[in-house]
Amino acid sequence: MDVLRPQIITLDGRNYRKNPIQEKNYHQEEDEGFYQDSMEYSDEPCDAYEVEQTPQGFRATVSAPSLLYKHIVGKRGDTKKKIEMETKTSINIPKPGQEGEIVITGQHRNGVISARTRIDVLLDTFRRKQPFTHFLSFFLNEVEVQERFLKFQEEVLEKCSMDRGVDSSIFQNPKKLHLTIGMLVLLSEQEIQQTCEILQRCKEEFINDITGGKPLEVEMEGIEYMNDDPGMVDVLYAKVHMKDGSNRLQELVDRMLERFQALGLIVKDWTSVKLHATVMNTLLRKDPSAEGRYNLYTPDGKYIFKERESFDGRNILKTFENFYFGSLKLNSIHISQRFTVDSFGNYASCGQVDFS
């Protein structure tokens, strides 16, 4: 880490500096949630927190999904005890499985703020280790596009099936064709509802201006690959662009990304969304339910290694460089839930905003 440019963590719209620390060995099987390094984050007093003065001292609350409580408690309560001891506070955490607020009390305001800051950083640390649960998306499964996609699959298998690694198992399910804006970790119904509210605010603040209250007419045309070697391809995608040649779709998704990053809901350091609709993915070869490069961690923090066999995409890229998948009207942004299927065979939607 460059000490002159430390990592910045955004929590509730506020930025915190992560101080450089020395790596320590961490064995998940021996420790169910205590993450010593997280206690080394800077916890300078922050006046932005709401701290209530009571007859007994000071009080602050933290809203968090129950799934993350164990990381504040730590093994045998070690994490909670350490925060309490070093900040001279008392921390009350709801019982496992019960939703509620974490309550911090203490005799000194700065101590309560310090404990609140440490808890926020711990929550952020372990939220980043959770598998993605949802994603913001446009559905691309209109009938014309599905039919053209199946035509693409048929012709690829007819003309390129002799190329290394090319077979029917790596093609996307046409009913699940979509554009991903960003991946999300939503761990409670309350967080899903909050995301729906954020979407609605985005609609009022800039979506209506960009779309003019009408669907965006787009075309899916041409293919491209994700990595640097066309002979070793893992993901092949269809390109999507506005029919009128404008940049409105890109502007819309970039504004969405910016808003969700500022709120800490999308943690990737992207500055722009790469618009793509996955049509071939080698993760599907062994796991038909695989959805991309997103399963990096299990809920208990263990890294997942996804073995995959690439394919030689050179002939496909040359033969189908400008393949036309069809035109469609994008009228909704959905909060799609991973590993689910609705009655139409697409991902289940937990909420949406419509343009018209």
pLDDT in tens, the chain (356 residues): 454 555 556 655 555 555 544 433 333 333 344 444 444 444 445 556 789 999 999 999 999 999 999 999 999 999 999 999 999 999 999 987 788 899 999 999 999 999 999 999 999 889 888 888 999 999 998 999 999 999 999 999 999 999 999 999 999 999 999 999 999 999 999 999 999 999 999 999 999 999 999 999 999 999 999 888 999 999 999 999 999 999 999 999 999 999 998 887 887 666 788 888 999 999 999 877 777 655 555 555 555 556 789 999 999 999 999 999 999 999 999 999 998 989 888 999 999 999 99
Element (H, E) at 251: helix 248-262
Please check whether residue 182 is in contact with residue 268, taking contact to mean a CB–CB distance below 8 angstroms.
yes
* pTM for this model (two decimals): 0.78
Element (H, E) at 116: helix 109-127
Q: How many residues does the chain have?
A: 356
Strands 101-106 and 89-92, sheet pairing? antiparallel
For residue 343, count other CB atoms closer than 10 A to its CB: 6
3-class SS of residue 61: strand
Q: What are phi and psi of 148, to 5 degrees?
A: -70, -35
Question: Which pLDDT value is given to residue 6?
Answer: 56
